[in-house]
């Protein structure tokens, strides 16, 4: 693989393609090849892609309750009502 090939893609462009790349949404084989070629040549971009993966993994470790603001939680009153409905249904 030639250096020229990898350099046909700018780092600036690559960072905007990372998600499409990780999602497998780059269907044009030539385009995919260009990205691969660039990543093999370019350390900073490889680090960038690796850090996007790490970021995804870290977001994935957030507790589901903690991922959104408490302001968006159902009010206590409604949760109580739901819990009562759940208990009532159980006793049928």
* Residue owning tokens 């350390």: 43
DSSP output for 68-85: S-GGGSPPHHHHHHHHHH
At closest approach, how far in Å is the CB of 53 from other proteins? 6
Structure token pair of residue 90: 């159980």
Q: Does 56 bind other proteins (CB under 8 A)?
A: yes
**Residue among 66, 2, 43 nearest 14 (CA):** 43
Among 4, 30, 31, 62, binds other proteins (CB under 8 A): 62
Binding site for other proteins (CB under 8 A): 7, 10-13, 15-16, 18-25, 32, 36, 39-40, 42-48, 50-69, 72-75, 78-79, 81-83, 85-87, 89-90
């Amino acid at each position: 693989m030639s250096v020229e090939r990898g350099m046909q893609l700018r780092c600036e462009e690559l960072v905007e393609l990372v998600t499409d790349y990780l999602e497998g949404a780059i269907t044009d084989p030539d385009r995919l090849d260009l990205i691969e070629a660039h990543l093999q040549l370019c350390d900073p971009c490889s680090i960038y892609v690796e850090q996007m993966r790490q970021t995804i993994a870290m977001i994935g470790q957030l507790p589901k309750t903690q991922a959104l603001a408490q302001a968006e939680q159902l009010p206590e009153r409604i949760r109580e009502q739901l819990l009562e409905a759940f208990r009532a249904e159980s006793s049928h």
